[in-house]
A and B are shown apart, each in its own frame.
Chain A
Amino acid sequence: MQKAVARPSITSARPLSLGAVGRIFPHIVLLILTFTSLMPFVWMFFGSFKTYVELTSGRTLLPIEWTFDNYVQITQRVGFPRAFLNTTLVAVSITLATLITSSAAGYVFAKYRFWGKEKLFTVLLSTMMVPFAVVLVPLYVTVANLGLADKLAGIIVTGLCSTFGIFLMRQFMESIPNDLIDAGRIDGASEWWIFSRVVLPLAKSSLSALAVFTFLGSWDSFLWPLVVLTSPDNQTLPIVLAGLRNLYWSRYEMYAAGSMLTVLPVMIVYALASKHFVQGIAMTGIKG
């Protein structure tokens, strides 16, 4: 994404050429959108500190009477801390595994030549076309046959490789000059040394983007963990959170507190890495 991939200039503006209106109007639209994007979260944040009565009948955004009772209840009775640990374990494992498999396979597909390479790559890509619903039941049976039903390992094992990740890393690594790799080979460096010391450092920005994608994707994942993880002790945050609607029917202050606990880590990761994230999507979009 740095030198290697041609990025369009993002510093110059392209005014709509409508005079002063043309300069102010886009800002107005974008400010409205900023407001509508943030406001629900702000409301949820303050709502999580309100009592049920205040949340459903109050007219103010800020709580008149701050209460931490919702968080206390939710951590003690619903097992959010456990779900938090489970989700972290799953998301971190899947992210690490995906980074390793995607970068290694991406490198091999980008820089090696072997018989049937393009065909093999097409076959791997074709798995992206299959809707998840098609493999939902068979994949569950596969995981259950391995004795991994209702185990976090059942989620992790299905996330070890990512077709999207391999695609993304291949795209990037094709832009790394061959001279760099050849220079290493002439100097007698091993393939592993070239990969880990030359190629990976160059791919840092792409790897960061992929890491954030994968981490957030598995953190937010719902359908698959819902199928695999059945006992409360093994569930991840979105599953436990969705369970609140049966446990606390229409207790919105509980929803708000639970949602905050689920969303906050994501927002922190996003705040730290939003640059990589947005650029990563833009890159796949351009290439797509």
Chain B
Amino acid sequence: MTTQTALSQTMVPRRNTGATIAKTLRRPQFWFGLIVLLPILVWYAWFAFGPVLRAFWMATVRYDLMDPAASTFVGLKNFEQVFSYPLFWVSVQRTIAFSLYVYVGTLPLALFVSLCLVAVAQGRNFYQTVIFLPVVVSYVAVALLFRMLMDPQNGQFNQILSALGLPTSLWVTGPNSALPAIAMVDIWKGLGFHVVIITAGLLGIPTEMYDAAKVDGAGAWHRFRYVTIPLLGNTLLLESVIIVAGTLQAFTNGEVLGCAGDACFFISRLVYAEAFTNLRFGFATASAFVLFVFILVLTLIQVRTLKPDWQY
């Protein structure tokens, strides 16, 4: 912050408090900053921090829909109920499995595609733009689209498979194939986003690193393994965190794709159903907190284990 302007530095309170306050009040920066920040902070208090605090309260009371103020404090009872609810554990299992499939599918594929993108001189922007297209469209439309393509009887996927003489699949309508199938859709939809981030990371690696490795006689594989991967550390960590946090919150695809039974009943869907179908506000919010803690712990573990211990 050493490059801050001389004028704005005077906004920091000095020893002579009274004079400083008078001085501050005369500064146009003070009034501009106040007019900008005050409404924004009111908004945050109302629509960001307020709801989080209310969530804490909601998760620990027996929520009275008719008269919320009359809700009685029940401590951790909502959480006990969540943990003894079989469908909760079903949703946890589905969510983790989905997350794993997407993680394992996305990271290597996105890295591979990014390496290809970096290796071409012409058409990079074109490729990137096209690969990114699925990212920007509505997930509801994508889910309906793949519902058509994956239809077991007359979907295009099975038509192609049988034309090639391969066994067909039930895709999302099969109890066992539902999760891999829905993960496949998610990988398809998200790939462009991850490719853009990894490509930016790859292009940020100084070319001299590769030149130095080449001079030392390192082959393509060695340059990838001992230059690219380590120097991409921060990007890969970011990617890893984004994928885990994103997939654990999956909702739309499970809701719209039409999976078999509860095969795609993710935690977010449990929260939604408990809150707005069964009207159990306390239970729903408590299960959302479990998801929160889960994401938090996994993020911390990733930062601990994947954070590179160098800087360049």
Q: Which of A62-70, A72-80, A135-143, A200-208 contacts B (4 or more CB under 8 A)?
A: A135-143
Q: Does A9 contact B (CB under 8 A)?
A: yes
In the assembled complex, 26 residue pairs joining A and B whose CB atoms fall closer than 8 Å, in A order, are: A8-B203, A25-B116, A30-B117, A30-B120, A38-B130, A111-B4, A124-B44, A131-B245, A134-B55, A135-B48, A138-B52, A142-B51, A161-B43, A163-B48, A178-B5, A185-B7, A220-B136, A223-B272, A244-B144, A245-B256, A258-B144, A262-B140, A263-B137, A263-B141, A281-B200, A283-B200
- Inside 8 A of B66's CB, which chain A residues have their CB? none
Residue of B12, B33, B124 touching A108 (CB-CB under 8 A): B33
Q: Which residues in window 4-60 of B have CB below 8 A to A?
A: 4-9, 11-13, 28-29, 31-33, 36-37, 39-40, 43-44, 46-52, 54-55, 58
In the bound complex, how far is the Cα of B204 from the Cα of A10, in angstroms? 10
* Secondary structure call for the A interface: helix
Residue of A8, A14, A267, A285 touching B197 (CB-CB under 8 A): A285
Q: Which residues in window 137-154 of B have CB below 8 A to A?
A: 137-141, 144-149, 151, 153-154
Tell whether, in the assembled complex, residue A131 and residue B249 are in contact, meaning their CB atoms are under 8 Å apart.
yes
Tell whether, in the assembled complex, residue B139 and residue A222 are in contact, meaning their CB atoms are under 8 Å apart.
yes
- Inside 8 A of A22's CB, which chain B residues have their CB? 119
Instruction: Write the nearest CB–CB distance from A138 to chain B, whole angstroms.
Output: 4
Residue of B68, B235, B251, B255 touching A141 (CB-CB under 8 A): B68
Name the residue of chain B whose CB is nearest to the CB of A271. Answer: B129
Interface string of A2-18 (1 = CB under 8 A from B): 00000011111111111
> What interface size band does chain A fall in?
35 or more
Q: Does B268 contact A (CB under 8 A)?
A: yes
Instruction: Write the nearest CB–CB distance from A219 to chain B, whole angstroms.
Output: 7
Tell whether, in the assembled complex, residue A136 and residue B140 are in contact, meaning their CB atoms are under 8 Å apart.
no
Q: Does B1 contact A (CB under 8 A)?
A: yes
Q: Does B265 contact A (CB under 8 A)?
A: no
Q: Does A181 contact B (CB under 8 A)?
A: yes
Given A14-B210, A277-B136, answer yes or no on A37-B131 (Cβ-Cβ < 8 Å): yes
A14, A59, A163 — most chain B CB neighbours (10 Å): A14
In the bound complex, how far is the Cα of B155 from the Cα of A57, in angstroms? 9
> What interface size band does chain B fall in?
35 or more
Name the residue of chain A whose CB is nearest to the CB of B200. Answer: A282
Tell whether, in the assembled complex, residue B148 and residue A160 are in contact, meaning their CB atoms are under 8 Å apart.
no
Interface string of B233-261 (1 = CB under 8 A from A): 01100100000010011011001101000
- Inside 8 A of A262's CB, which chain B residues have their CB? 137-138, 140-141
Tell whether, in the assembled complex, residue B36 and residue A105 are in contact, meaning their CB atoms are under 8 Å apart.
yes
Tell whether, in the assembled complex, residue A111 and residue B8 are in contact, meaning their CB atoms are under 8 Å apart.
yes
Residue of A25, A114, A137, A256 touching B148 (CB-CB under 8 A): A256
In the bound complex, how far is the Cα of B228 from the Cα of A60, in angstroms? 45
Tell whether, in the assembled complex, residue A285 and residue B235 are in contact, meaning their CB atoms are under 8 Å apart.
yes
Given A137-B284, A182-B5, answer yes or no on A30-B127 (Cβ-Cβ < 8 Å): yes
Residue of A112, A182, A242, A285 touching B33 (CB-CB under 8 A): A112
Name the residue of chain A whose CB is nearest to the CB of B124. Answer: A10
Residue of B4, B54, B295 touching A138 (CB-CB under 8 A): B54
Interface string of B145-172 (1 = CB under 8 A from A): 1111101011010010000000000000
Interface string of B87-128 (1 = CB under 8 A from A): 000000000000000000000000011011111110111011
Q: Which residues in window 175-197 of B have CB below 8 A to A?
A: 188, 191-193, 196-197
Q: Does B134 contact A (CB under 8 A)?
A: yes
Q: Given contact pairs A13-B118, A36-B188, enumerate 4 new A-B contacts (beta carbons under 8 Å).
A: A27-B123, A40-B149, A138-B285, A266-B138
